[in-house]
Amino acid sequence: MKITGKTALVTGGTDGIGLEMARQLMEKGASVIVCGRRADALASARSEGFEAIQADLSNAAGCAALAAAFTDRPIDMLINNAGMSGNFGPGEPLDLALTDQAIFLNLNAPLHLIGYFLPHLLTRPEAVIVNVTSGLAIAPRAGGPVYCATKSGLRSFTQSLRHNLRGTHVHVIEALPPVVDTAMTRGRISGNKMSAKRCAAEIVDAIATNAKEANVGMVKLLRLIYSISPALVRRIMIKF
């Protein structure tokens, strides 16, 4: 895709991977609109020159409100990046309210937004939908069953959507990041983490080159090992 001159909507675009994607798309000549929940993060994004819309995508009403803001405005890129962990593990109770919120934000919200925006995207000369899943969509970890389940569901949906849109001008990309240094992973996951800037660069490159998937960082190695021994990858990752 030629990024220059395109208009992108990045959900969860006020921090982490989303903000870095927004910055890099703008550097390549795109007009970028970000959305998020926190007033301070929205104000910071506006100070960088982004249009920033307050939106809570953890419920259907929030998704509908965001879509309504674009009734008369074209976009060429829908980047479904917003997400939350909703983790629980041994000795932790399953918080059903948090679980429902995570399922909606991570899985239902991208589907809702695609439902709202797809008819318009199909009218554009060139358009793209990017769904940010995770390497954990392939091999889950024990401490994040809800997160892993939602990302696995979004991965499956993305693959079917890509098949259904073959022959159209709407390109569908799945981005599979590794563990990235963001607010979501701070204080919970240790070890080496990829920078949000580097992760975003690989996803933006996938947009520019019309790739089907952005297997980011260590996910490339994970996919290679998985192709040889899926059972080995599952045994390793489930303990992570």
Helices 230-237 and 219-228, packing angle to 10 deg: 130
Place of tokens 């980047």: 79
Quickly list H helices, the chain.
16-27, 39-47, 60-68, 96-103, 109-121, 145-164, 196-208, 219-228, 230-237
**What distance in Å separates the CA atoms of residue 224 and residue 216, rounded to the nearest whole number?**
13
Strand partners, 9: 33, 78
Catalytic residue among 147, 148, 161, 178: 147
- Residue pair 140/148 in contact (Cβ under 8 Å)? The answer is yes
End-to-end Cα separation, the chain, in angstroms: 36
Nearest to 124 by CA among 81, 69, 169, 160: 169
Concerning whether 226 is annotated as a catalytic residue, the answer is no
**What distance in Å separates the CA atoms of residue 157 and residue 160, rounded to the nearest whole number?**
5
Helices 145-164 and 96-103, packing angle to 10 deg: 20
Cβ within 8 Å of residue 169, ≥6 positions away: 122, 124, 125, 126, 127
Which of the 8 DSSP states describes residue 131?
A: E
- Residues annotated as catalytic are 147
